[in-house]
Every structure is written in structure tokens, then in C-alpha cells.
Structure 1
Amino acid sequence: MVLGRGTRWLAGAMTVACMALIGPSASAPGDALVARPLPAGAVGDIVPNRVMTWNICNPCKESNVDRAAEIATYAPQVIGLQEACVGDVEKIRHQLESLYGLVYHVEYGMVLRNRGRCGGLPWHPGEFGQAVLSAAPMTDRVSVEYPDGGSEDRGYMAVTTMVGGRSVRVFNTHLAHLRQEAVRADQVGVLATEVARHDRAIVLGDFNAVPDAPELTGIWALATDTDPMCRPSPTGACEPTTDWHSKFDYIFLRGIVPLEHGVHPTPYSDHHLLHTDLRPT
């Protein structure tokens, strides 16, 4: 069938209109299913005692194939993602399996519906917030929106899953933006109250605060950072986790001993990947 000029123009206009409605996160450039070669030293299979946190940056219009390759390079048992859209996480998860053979379960802690960030139709915008990928099944998911998110809705999620052969409660959070210290202090209070209920817990996330910030006192009282040199002190030797050379990203451990950790800058986010290996059972 040959379309007339007017019909072709109408079809093209409808395509453009649909793309505008879907929004920026629906199909990032480079999302075609072509595996990006992993660097030398990539682990090749899931590391059962490894956990990771990564703020994947949104809206940054990065390729989910590239995001999947970054995760596959280190292949943690558990990954906590912040600034995540459900659609992007589903693509990342699918690509981890189809391109690299890494199979993950997923749970969400969404706090916002936003077409500008996550695409979708005006009456059904995409969901934005936190997500946890785990190689083992997850149970007892909770998703809590903080009473005061500050300039944007924020919250935490928690799941129970297996890390290093043992059951553990895993939290994933994203605290309020900069210059909202009092808001973050209240958010830490809400989070710490829940973390304190567990003898063994892992707290992942972007806390938007440096280690000696007063608003983090409540979490430091319960847990230690995976980096043994990092302390809530101006003299603490804390490795930066952002492009602006500040440590904002943490893996806090309660009742769990770390073995080693790594901080990995990436061109696909303004936050570095942070992972840690934990002492197995």
C-alpha cells in the first residue's frame, strides 16, 4: 500500500506527538539490545556477598544498556538504585539477563509520578523513586514516603533477602536535596527508628550529606560505613562518591562485617558506583 503525501504527513505527526507524550525516559539513546563488552576483570557471575548502591541520575537520558553494563561489571547480589524510573529499571533488569545472563528479582519504593522524569501519558505518568534488585527473592517489602520530603518527595524502602548466605534486612533511601539540613535530620530520624529494630541490616542510599553532617548523627549511632577509614569527623578519610568530590553515597552496616569496598566513577551518572563485599557466614 502506498500512502499519499497527506497521509504520510499525518502518520509522522502522530508519531512525533506520541513520542512527546511518552517522555524522555521511555527510550534512551543506545537502548538497542547490543551487549557492551565488559572490561577486563569483570566478575562474570553474581557475587553472593556483594551489595551496591548507585544513584543513576535522572533526568540524564543515559542508555540503560550502558547502565546494565556498569552493574554487570561488578555483578552484586543486591543493588539499591536511586532516582530510578520503573520503566528504566525494567529495561536494566531485562538487559542484565538477556545480555549478561544475570537474573535479578526487583522491588520498588516509588514516591513520585512524574512524566517529565519518567515518561508516560499525561493521565498515567511514570513512577520515580527507589528500586532494589536482588539475585535472591525478596520478602516483607515496605515503602515509606517521608512526612516531609523537602523540595521533592523522598522516602525509603526495605526488603528482606539473602546476602552472603544469610537473611538480612536491606534499606534503600534518598534524602532531601542540599541546603535542607533540618529536613534530612527528620528523615534520618524516621529511617533510624526502623533500622534500629533489626540486629542485622544494610542501609544503602544517597544521603545528600557529607559524613560529618549533623543530620546523619542518628544513623551513625546505629551503624558503620563500609569504609573502615570513614568516620563522622572532619578528619575522616572518606573516599568521594560524586563528581563534585563529596561523599554522599553510603553503605551502612549494622551487625555485619565488611571485607573490602570499591568506589567506581562512571560517565553515566554524577554519582559513582559504590559496592562492598561482606564477610560470608
Structure 2
Amino acid sequence: MVTGTGTRWLAGALIVGLMTLVGPSAPKGTLFARPLPAGAPDDVVPNRVMTWNICNPCNESGQNIGRAADIATYAPQVIGLQEACVRDVERIRDHLEYQYGLVYHVKYGSVLRSWSRCGGLPWRPGGFGQAILSAAPMTDPVSVEYPDGGSEDRGYMAVTTTVDGRPVRVFNTHLAQRRQEAFRAKQAKVLAAAVARHDRAIVLGDFNAVPDAPELADMWALATDADPQCRASGTGTCEVTTDWYSKFDYIFLRGIAPVGHEVRLTRYSDHNLFHADVELTDPA
């Protein structure tokens, strides 16, 4: 016979077991799936790309479930994440697949291993840096740490994948923190030299600089932002992408035409989601 205390213990164990079953490994539409708004895509949008600094550390309750729901609302073909811990990206990917039916491949561009940033055991901390999620397989991945990251290690990663049905080189970066212009200028030169090798490229990232900042000149010389009103001169009307009302996040397009874009607020980061639909044409 099971006593009252034993019954409560058994019930608790069963609940924990059930929650384990319906967690990230559970089928689409289970207990933890957040409903998507009306009009959300049923499947990945093949010509849509997104950049998002997901904020770390940000301790919003249920943040990876919420991040997955925010991504699923727009279902881009390619997503570039910055300030990304490997464990968080793994959970986001699982939620996207098992709760929303969106299957992504993942490549990482971790630049440091940080227990304070990403948890884990002190002698086995989590990887921190960039990540790219793509609905199509990715090839030729590279991960480059900038020679000097400033107050924190920074870098870029790049892969070749498919956008709008065509192969394209996709970069993802995070430049040095605010008020570190000299470091960003050197980092942008390293990045621009890599981008310049490709006639067609998409560069996603948090550049920590406003459009007319001198350190972005090398990128503007190669590409345009997916926001057609946003230009290096600062005369255009750039949609802000951060909680402090600055434009820091870019989708630079080289040899690729923008079709539309949107910046959306999110509760799960101090950066907004910035996504764009693009059209790829064969290089001339």
C-alpha cells in the first residue's frame, strides 16, 4: 500500500517524467508550444533571412521557448544569431523542429568558452559567439576570431548555403562593444576583405555602430543594407534595432536585391529581430 506521502512523491515523479517527455523532444504542438500569430508561415520562407542578437546574459523566463516562437513567426531560410551559447541554440533548434515543424541545420562560430556566459561545468564551459541556422545544408564553414576583439573576444563565421533556391555565401558577425570604435574599424576591415572575395554574399550581424559611423565605411563600399532607406550617409531613415533606439543590426547584401524587410520588437532580447526577403540573380 502507498501512504499519502508516497502517493504525492509518486505523482510528482510522474509529472516530472511527463514534462520530460513533452519537452524539446516532443512532437509539434505539445504542452510548451507557444501559439503563433495569424498569418505566420506554415513552412520556411526560402528567400527570407534574419539577424538577431539574442542577448546574453538575459534571464527572461522561458527564453529559449520564446526565442523559438519568435523565429517561427517569420520562419526564415537562414538565421544569424549573435551572443549565442551552444546549449541555447540547441534548445532553440529543438523547439523549432518539434513544436513548429521547422527543421534547421546549425553551424557555430564560437569565439570563447565562458562559464559565466553559457553555464556548464567550470572546467567544461559552454561555447559563446555566433551561430547560423539554415533550412538547407551548409558547406565550407569557417570561424575566424578577430585579432583584437576589444573588451571581449569577437569574430565572424561564414558558410555556403541556399537562399532563394541559389547558393550564396552567408557571413555572421559581432563587432566590438560600443565606444570601441578603433577595434571595430580593424574588425570591419578583416570582415570586408573576406566578403570582397564573393560576388554574391549576405552579411548578418550586430555591428555595434550606427550607419554613418566611419568604421563601417569598408562594408558600405561593398554592400547595401536590406533596409533600402538606410544608407552610410546617415541621411536616410533607418529603422532602429535596439532598445536604446539605435541602428546596430544589419543585413548587408552584395550582389543581391532586397524585396522587403521588417524590424520587430521582442521581449527576449535588447535587440529587435530584423528579417528581410531577398532576390538572388546570377552574377553578371
Q: Provide the C-alpha distance between the structure 1 equivalents of 2:195 and 2:33, rounded to a whole number of angstroms.
A: 38
Shift of 1:61: 2.0
Identify the residue that residue 52 of structure 1 maps to in structure 2. Answer: 50
1:50 and 1:277 in contact (8 A); partners too: yes
Secondary structure of residue in 2 paired with 1:70: helix
**Structure 1 gap segments, 5+ residues each:** 3-31
Question: Where does 1:1-281 land on structure 2 (aligned, <5 Å)?
Answer: 34-62=32-60, 63-279=63-279
The answer to whether the 8 A contact 2:33-2:65 is kept is yes
Moved over 4 A (4+): none
Q: Deviations over 1:38-72 (max 9, x none)?
A: 11221121000000000000000232000000000
* Number of positions where the alignment pairs a residue of Structure 1 with one of Structure 2: 252
- Aligned equivalents of 1:172 and 1:33: distance in 2? 33
Paired-residue identity, %? 76
Contact 1:203 1:253 in 2 (8 A): yes
**What TM-score do you get using the length of structure 2 for normalisation?**
0.87
Whole-Å separation in 2 of the counterparts to 1:123 and 1:279 = 46
Unaligned runs of 5+ in 2: 4-29
Q: Which amino acid aligns with 1:56?
A: I
Contact preservation (8 Å) 1:169, 1:201:
yes
Q: Which amino acid in structure 1 is aligned with residue 160 of structure 2?
A: T
Counterpart residue type for residue 202 of structure 2:
I
Q: What TM-score, normalized by structure 1, do the two folds share?
A: 0.88
Contact 1:33 1:99 (8 Å CA) reproduced: no
Deviation (angstroms), 1:257 = 0.4
Structure 1 residues 223 and 229: alpha-carbon distance in aligned structure 2, compared to 1, 3 A threshold: same
Q: What is the alpha-carbon distance in structure 2 between the residues aligned to residue 279 and residue 245 of structure 1?
A: 29
Residue identity opposite 2:53 in structure 1: N
Instruction: Give 1:234 deviation, angstroms.
Output: 2.9
**RMSD across aligned positions (CA):** 1.4
Q: Provide the C-alpha distance between the structure 1 equivalents of 2:175 and 2:31, rounded to a whole number of angstroms.
A: 33
Sort the Cα spacing of 1:188 and 1:33 in 2 relative to 1 into closer, same or farther, 3 A: farther
